[in-house]
Amino acid sequence: MLAKAWVRFTVKHSWLFCALLAVWSAGSARCQTVASDGAVGINAQWELGKSSTWWIEEQRIGADFITAGVAQENPNLIKEGVVIFHWGFAHQSTNGSFPGTAGGVLGPMYHSTSLFVEAVARAAIALSGYHPVSYTLPAGTYSTDLTYWALHLTRACNWLLRSTVQPNGILYDKPFTHRRWLLAAALGESGVFTGNATFSAAAIPYAEDGLTLQLGPGWRASLLPASNGVVPPAVLVAPGANPPANATSTFSAVGVNPEASGYDVSYQAVGLFYAAAFYTVCSRASLKPEIAGMLEHGLDWERSRTSTGGLVNIVGSTRVGIEKEHDGSLKPMAYATAEQAYALAGEETGLARFAVVDERMITRNRAVSAYNPAVDGAMAGNIIWEQGKASSWSIAFQKHGIEWIEAGIADENRTYLDKGMLAFRWAWSHQATDGSFAGTSSPWYSTAEFVEAIAHAALLLQNFHPVTFTPTPGYYAGWAAELAKHAHLATDWMTEPAIENAAWINDAPYTDRRFLVGAAYQQTADASGDSTLNGPAAMFVKDGIARQWANGVWPESGAGDPVIQMQTAAYVEDFLVASADSAINTKTDQSLALAMKWEYPQMDIYGTLKGVSQPPYRLLLGSWQGAAAQTGSALDDVVAARITAWH
């Protein structure tokens, strides 16, 4: 049985999936131009004679393609990444350097090379362990590429460690803490991939140095007045020292990994990602607890500069929004890498608050719901009805409050939670004493939809224990009790024999409604503690299972519908959350697995539902994620990864 706190429509994978999805969803937007031969961005311009300089680091986005291809099991993406990497190595000399890159200046060459090495090594580790479940990969498919990379990575690492190169590189990197962790990850990952213990050992001093640079207790940062409308980089204030007299604000800098004598929210995140990546390959076990502590302090500081909506405050940073990229644009906040940092570090430290911030960042540009409650809580068509512009209303419209509740729990966002309850409470003002919603269109079916949503919300809120803020004791439990009360009142009306029997006959053509009612009853039973609803819930679910065709279709009016099939899957998953009947749960699990097996061919490799012009991707994502969690299917997880990355 699923944990009762299951939240649909959120990205909850292992760190690997979180990291790979994050980097691809944002990485695809920053891919710039990739030429047919693999040259990226400014390097493609250089090939055309339109730039005087090329940078090997630009080719690091090959890792975005490869790791995304692994997560989504998309060989097209992997192939693109391979081409990008091969372009880079085609410009490597036998001594391991990349002649002419970064203008041929040793310091920039060193840094640019380390970025490329880290990306290749990280992608190589992912690809070397790639065993897709959605298609058959012939043995040795990528062996030639991996062997080629191992050879050239070895040369590049040896160049980075040369006595005539490394000291200059260290001096060039000195002002930037994140580069210690970059080198540690580049050498550590290369050591693991190539089996070269020398590289693994060489990574340790960079990590040790990085650990010494993090700011500890007593450190603060002060913002200064804006000049010409621009706030200058913040000033770091040592323990016991006074802030500048003209400081506009002063706040904690504990956990800052300094960049250019200040803090930078973007490079803080980048460095923490590299540190977390190094943690996974660190060859010295005694160092790992120190790195975990550094990650915790560093991410906690980064979290203090991040809103509940997942947006990072860059004011006072030394580099982001100030320095320029190679193409002349201002450096943006590295959201994709920040997402990876929270996901990976959260996994390694086991601290739930980092998973919450990761969720906020992943969903920062996505609408919570297509429906925003009015001031009084009315939603969708009910807003128009209240305005006198529609002749009917439906209690089913208010079910969209669940989307705000789910997002509010996943992101621990109190504004979202308040909106969800506002929508639900509008309904109470239209509920009769017998539990019905007098005047609503399609009374029984609409009520079932609404009850399913509020009972689901009640279970979520019963188990809601936020880690990023402390609510008033019993606050959300009170909400859960309120929801359970009204769900139970509504089921009192729904289960009246005459009403339920009529609905049983009227809804006969629709399998999804069998599972809808089963989920509504079972979740209400669990939320309210009324076990008498278990029997009616099981009756509807058993009938739904009996209707399923041998090929997995849950028929709707005698046909299969891939969209409704996924809505049905969501109801099935919600039923399983609440049901404690192992016998019916086993059969329901089997029905769900068979249904997803039928649905799979309806999806393409990019997570698009074939033949449907505007698929409900929130529904699709939640259903595939729920199926993966319930059945343990790796294939279902892959489909969810595809949907997440592309929609």
pTM for this prediction: 0.92
pLDDT digits (tens, 9 = 90+) for 492-516: 999 999 999 998 898 889 999 999 9
The pLDDT assigned to 30 comes to 44
The pLDDT assigned to 19 comes to 39
Sheet holding 235-237, edge to edge: 235-237, 220-223, 249-252
The pLDDT assigned to 647 comes to 77
Q: What average pLDDT does the segment 246-258 reach?
A: 98
- Say which residue, 23 or 640, is predicted with more confidence: 640
The pLDDT assigned to 373 comes to 98
Phi/psi region, residue 528 (left: phi>0; alpha: psi -120 to 50; beta: rest), is: alpha
Taking the C-alpha atoms of residue 258 and residue 177, their distance in angstroms, rounded to an integer, is 6
| Res 8 pLDDT > 60 | no
Q: Tell me the pLDDT band of 7, cut-offs 50, 70 and 90.
A: low
pLDDT digits (tens, 9 = 90+) for 181-240: 999 999 999 999 999 999 999 999 999 999 999 999 999 999 999 999 899 999 999 999
pLDDT digits (tens, 9 = 90+) for 383-410: 999 999 999 999 999 999 999 999 999 9
| Res 25 pLDDT > 50 | no
The pLDDT assigned to 614 comes to 87
Burial per residue of 53-80, b for 16 or more beta-carbon CB atoms within 10 angstroms, e otherwise: bbbbbbbbbbbbbbbbbbbbbbbebbeb
| Res 115 pLDDT > 80 | yes
The pLDDT assigned to 646 comes to 83
The pLDDT assigned to 24 comes to 41
Mean of all residue pLDDT scores within the chain: 93
How many CB atoms sit inside 10 A of residue 418's CB?
Answer: 14
The pLDDT assigned to 88 comes to 98
pLDDT digits (tens, 9 = 90+) for 445-458: 999 999 999 999 99
Q: What average pLDDT does the segment 425-433 reach?
A: 96
Beta bridge partner(s), residue 372: none
Q: Please name the residue that has the structure tokens 């300089």.
A: 53
The pLDDT assigned to 6 comes to 45
| β-pair type (249-252, 220-223) | antiparallel
3-state helix, strand, coil in the chain (%, to 5): 60, 5, 35
- CA-CA distances (angstroms) from residue 248 to 205, 231, 265? 38, 10, 19
The pLDDT assigned to 3 comes to 39
Tokens of 214: 């993090």
Identify the burial level of 41 via C-beta atoms within 10 angstroms of its C-beta, where 0-12 means exposed, 13-18 middle and 19 or more buried.
Answer: buried
Q: Tell me the pLDDT band of 593, cut-offs 50, 70 and 90.
A: very high
The pLDDT assigned to 346 comes to 87
Q: Tell me the pLDDT band of 45, cut-offs 50, 70 and 90.
A: very high
Check: CB of residue 215 under 8 Å from CB of residue 300: no
Identify the burial level of 414 via C-beta atoms within 10 angstroms of its C-beta, where 0-12 means exposed, 13-18 middle and 19 or more buried.
Answer: middle
Taking the C-alpha atoms of residue 642 and residue 647, their distance in angstroms, rounded to an integer, is 8
pLDDT digits (tens, 9 = 90+) for 320-363: 999 999 989 999 999 999 999 999 988 888 999 999 999 999 99
Check: CB of residue 557 under 8 Å from CB of residue 610: no
Q: Please name the residue that has the structure tokens 């200058």.
A: 232
The pLDDT assigned to 492 comes to 97
The pLDDT assigned to 167 comes to 98
Which of 19-28, 148-157, 211-220, 607-616 is predicted with the least confidence, judged by mean pLDDT? 19-28
pLDDT digits (tens, 9 = 90+) for 466-475: 999 999 999 9
| Res 252 pLDDT > 80 | yes
424 Cβ contact list (under 8 Å, min separation 6): 377, 398, 401, 454, 457, 483, 486
